[in-house]
Structure 1
Amino acid sequence: MTIGSIGGIGGGASMGIDRILQLRQQILDKNDALSRANAGAGAATGVAAPATSSTTPASFAATMDRALTSVNDGQNQASQLSDSYERGDTVDIAKVMLARQQASVGFEATLQVRNKLLSAYKDIMSMPV
């Protein structure tokens, strides 16, 4: 799952809520996998990353750039919808709340990734040479 799949608002409110719940579960699953990988980091075998496609994977920097751009777009979209609603434009409140929740989930996922990266960096820097 990429954070880019968070974008896109439409459909019924129940469809959006189901999607949010799916995204939440995927984030929790990824967090559990990262926790297991972090706990087993000292093992010689390591943890293999699941293959998502048969094509050559993109670089880490490019993947992070796309993910951060997607989260930023979600934040901007939620802000625009909120502003439109506050101005009195014809905007469904359910769409506004869904966009804000999606932006929040994306931001929380980004924070979790950042925290894991910082933790890994600190672990690497504290290793004896």
Structure 2
Amino acid sequence: MDLRINSTSTAPLAGTGVARRPAATAGQEGFSTAFKDALQSVSQAQNQADAMKREVQLDNPSVSLEQTMVAIQKAQIGFQATLHVRNRMVQAYSDIMNMQV
């Protein structure tokens, strides 16, 4: 793909919109995929922590309390990080929507 601007055209920026669309779409797909994977990872950590918590409550000797506490803390940290990302995204959206054109 040629991203150079043709200097002989009457509208110097006419070709740049076409050249930028695929790159913007690829970036959006990459971010949405990464965000979806992160959410799934946090969900799996929470589910694992809940399962381990249940096993400790049922006195399963193969699951230790220490492992369960570490899994719970990992799930909490992941959830807090996800919550911060969501808050930043909402703030950025609000900032963009409040911009004067």
Fold conserved between structures, TM > 0.5: yes
Q: Per the alignment, in what secondary structure is the counterpart of residue 82 of structure 2? A: helix
What is the letter of the counterpart of residue 67 of structure 1? Answer: A
- 1:24-63 correspondence to structure 2 within 5 Å: 59-63=30-34
Q: Per the alignment, in what secondary structure is the counterpart of residue 50 of structure 2? A: helix
Structure showing greater relative contact order (alpha-carbon pairs closer than 8 Å, 6 or more residues apart):
1
Give the count of matched residue pairs.
Answer: 74
Please name the residue that 2:68 is paired with: 96
Deviation at 1:128, TM superposition (A): 1.0
Please name the residue that 1:116 is paired with: 88
Please name the residue that 1:48 is paired with: none
Please name the residue that 2:44 is paired with: 73
Deviation at 1:69, TM superposition (A): 0.3
Unaligned runs of 5+ in 1: 1-55
Please name the residue that 1:41 is paired with: none
What is the letter of the counterpart of residue 110 of structure 1? Answer: T
Are residue 125 (structure 1) and residue 97 (structure 2) matched? yes
Q: 2: distance between equivalents of 1:59 and 1:126?
A: 26
Q: Among the aligned pairs, what percent are the same residue?
A: 39
RMSD: 1.5
What is the letter of the counterpart of residue 52 of structure 2? Answer: L
Larger radius of gyration: 2
Unaligned runs of 5+ in 2: 1-25
Report runs of 4+ in structure 1 exceeding 2 Å deviation: none
